[in-house]
């Protein structure tokens, strides 16, 4: 009898693991009368069966299916998110930083190059602002190996150099007095008064420009169309980057990047060195001076094992392929693919519970530079992860605890990670004729 049946509610929950505690990123499907959820493409057969049996309406998953068209659409949705964060940083912080304005310019240049809708006037203005900031007078101070070499040549006694040697690091002092105050605590007021001028002269760093990483981002994010308008500025940026190279061929990390989860100082500076040589080689013709600098860098990093982060693994892969180490590049590519998580993405370090858009974008960037695109199953899995994880505002909510050693009050990783996700997807798009 019909009246003997109890009311039935169909409640199907299918969850996929994502690496974020934020409830917005706990993807679940709850199919009940009156709702029409988005269904990931891999679950279409199951949801069609449920729809047939229950009469529940199910929306097609065109926006999360890993196709070139949907990848392009995801990047297009991300641009306002990146622009909002980047322009706010320009207005409020008034500096490029290594995670804000340069990535605003880079992501939009990449988008324009791939035919996405970009406001060219705004992009030109952002580029001009970013280059002007990088080339403005921002001389900082700090103790490096070359600082002590200069002091020794200037006649500073070994007893004083011995006191300064333990202070050699990537620490910067933004004003002369801050540097001198720090030196006084180590060598005393009497020695400071005697050697003040030589100390300050030897410790003056190249015009900061945001440091090597920021300068590199400007060079890598440059598009050919900017050659006529900003050619001299980019040449000056590369010259400044080359000034930052240490005598041993490496570049040292600056700014807030030391706060990331590196295995140590060696990996941290190795990453900056690899980025720097890629930025310098991508920007302008390779003259003799640059080739000598490149050879010093390659000698300093002769066959090192990548550190723990996804970034250094990706960088070693890119550099090995770019500079003709085919066998090593093939091995590193295999290592990169082995680190792809079951959800399709990558995490900053292996110990992280899941994936994030920041590391996934970097992995896609490396794969794109090795010739892989959306026709590759690994790339499509990464696309699907990003398409499912993208927020309604166009951004990706990257948690800083997976990347940063010391949590900051201002979490910059949603903007930074969103820019990397956009750049990575654009670099793995197949030829524009394929949609």
Kindly state the tokens that stand for 265.
């100082």
Task: Convert the pLDDT of each residue in 366-404 to its tens digit.
Answer: 999 999 999 999 999 999 999 999 999 999 999 998 998
pLDDT of res. 67:
96
pLDDT of res. 30:
28
Q: Is 162 exposed, middle or buried (0-12, 13-18, 19+ CB in 10 A)?
A: exposed
Given pLDDT bands bounded at 50, 70 and 90, which one contains residue 38? Answer: very low
Task: Convert the pLDDT of each residue in 233-271 to its tens digit.
Answer: 998 999 889 888 888 888 988 776 878 899 988 899 999
pLDDT above 50 (res 107)? yes
Report pTM.
0.77
Percent of the chain at pLDDT above 70? 81
CA dihedral (142, 144, 150, 151) positive or negative = positive
pLDDT of res. 81:
97
pLDDT of res. 10:
38
Contacts from 372-381 at CB under 8 Å and sequence distance 24+?
A: 372/428, 373/428, 373/429, 373/430, 374/66, 374/67, 374/68, 374/71, 374/428, 374/429, 374/430, 374/434, 375/430, 375/434, 376/428, 378/337, 378/340, 379/428, 380/66, 381/66, 381/340, 381/344
pLDDT of res. 90:
93
288 within 8 A of 224, measured Cβ to Cβ:
no
Percent of the chain at pLDDT above 90? 54
Kindly state the tokens that stand for 240.
């400044």
Alpha-carbon distance 33 to 54, whole Å? 9
pLDDT of res. 173:
85
168 within 8 A of 150, measured Cβ to Cβ:
no
Distances from the Cα of 415 to the Cα of 110, 210, 217, 291, 357, angstroms = 16, 18, 15, 35, 10
Q: Phi and psi (nearest 5°) for 340?
A: -65, 130
Alpha-carbon distance 100 to 302, whole Å? 32
Judged by average pLDDT, the poorest of 35-39, 117-121, 315-319 is 35-39
Task: Convert the pLDDT of each residue in 145-181 to its tens digit.
Answer: 889 998 999 999 999 999 999 988 768 787 889 999 9
pLDDT above 90 (res 76)? yes
Given pLDDT bands bounded at 50, 70 and 90, which one contains residue 407? Answer: confident
Task: Convert the pLDDT of each residue in 216-239 to its tens digit.
Answer: 999 999 987 655 689 889 989 998
Q: Phi and psi (nearest 5°) for 173?
A: -120, 120
Alpha-carbon distance 317 to 365, whole Å? 11
Between helices 265-283 and 212-220, what is the axis angle to 10°?
40
Distance spanning both ends of the chain, measured CA to CA: 54
pLDDT of res. 31:
30
Around 347, how many Cα atoms within 13 Å sit in the side-chain half-sphere? 21
Distances from the Cα of 122 to the Cα of 86, 93, 111, 129, angstroms = 12, 19, 14, 10
């Amino acid at each position: 009898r019909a009246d003997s049946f109890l009311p039935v509610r169909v409640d199907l929950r299918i969850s996929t693991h994502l690496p974020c505690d934020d409830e917005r990123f706990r993807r679940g499907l709850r199919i009940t009368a009156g709702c029409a959820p988005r269904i990931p493409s891999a679950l279409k057969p199951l949801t069609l069966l449920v729809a047939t049996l229950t009469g529940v309406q199910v929306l097609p998953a065109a926006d999360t299916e890993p196709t070139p068209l949907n990848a392009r659409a995801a990047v297009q949705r991300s641009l306002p998110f990146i622009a909002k964060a980047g322009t706010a940083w320009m207005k409020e912080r008034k500096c490029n930083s290594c995670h804000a304005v340069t990535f605003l310019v880079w992501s939009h240049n990449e988008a324009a190059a791939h035919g996405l809708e970009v406001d060219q006037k705004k992009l030109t203005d952002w580029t001009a602002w970013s280059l002007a900031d990088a080339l403005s007078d921002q001389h900082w101070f700090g103790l490096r190996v070359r600082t002590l070499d200069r002091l020794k040549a200037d006649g500073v006694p070994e007893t004083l150099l011995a006191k300064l040697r333990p202070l050699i690091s990537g620490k910067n002092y933004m004003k002369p007095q801050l540097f001198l105050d720090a030196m006084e605590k180590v060598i005393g007021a009497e020695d400071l008064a005697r050697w003040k001028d030589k100390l300050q002269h030897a410790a003056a760093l190249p015009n900061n420009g945001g440091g090597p990483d920021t300068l590199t981002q400007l060079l890598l994010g440059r598009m050919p169309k900017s050659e006529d308008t900003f050619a001299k500025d980019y040449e000056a940026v590369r010259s400044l980057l080359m000034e930052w190279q240490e005598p041993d061929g490496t570049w040292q990390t600056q700014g807030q990047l030391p706060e990331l989860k590196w295995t140590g100082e060696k990996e941290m500076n190795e990453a900056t060195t690899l980025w720097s040589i890629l930025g310098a080689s991508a920007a302008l013709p390779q003259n003799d001076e640059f080739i000598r600098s490149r050879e010093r860098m390659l000698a300093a990093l002769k066959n090192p094992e990548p550190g723990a982060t996804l970034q250094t693994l990706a960088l070693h892969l890119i550099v090995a392929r770019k500079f003709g180490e085919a066998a090593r590049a093939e091995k590193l590519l295999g290592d990169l693919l082995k680190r792809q998580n079951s959800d399709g993405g990558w995490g900053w370090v292996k110990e992280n519970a899941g994936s994030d858009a920041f590391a996934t974008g970097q992995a896609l960037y490396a794969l794109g530079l090795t010739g892989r695109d959306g026709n590759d199953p690994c790339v499509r899995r990464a696309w699907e992860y990003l398409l499912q994880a993208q927020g309604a505002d166009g951004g990706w909510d990257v948690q800083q605890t997976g990347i940063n050693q010391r949590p900051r009050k201002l979490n910059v990783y949603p903007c930074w990670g969103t820019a990397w996700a956009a750049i990575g997807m654009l670099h793995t798009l197949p030829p524009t004729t394929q949609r």
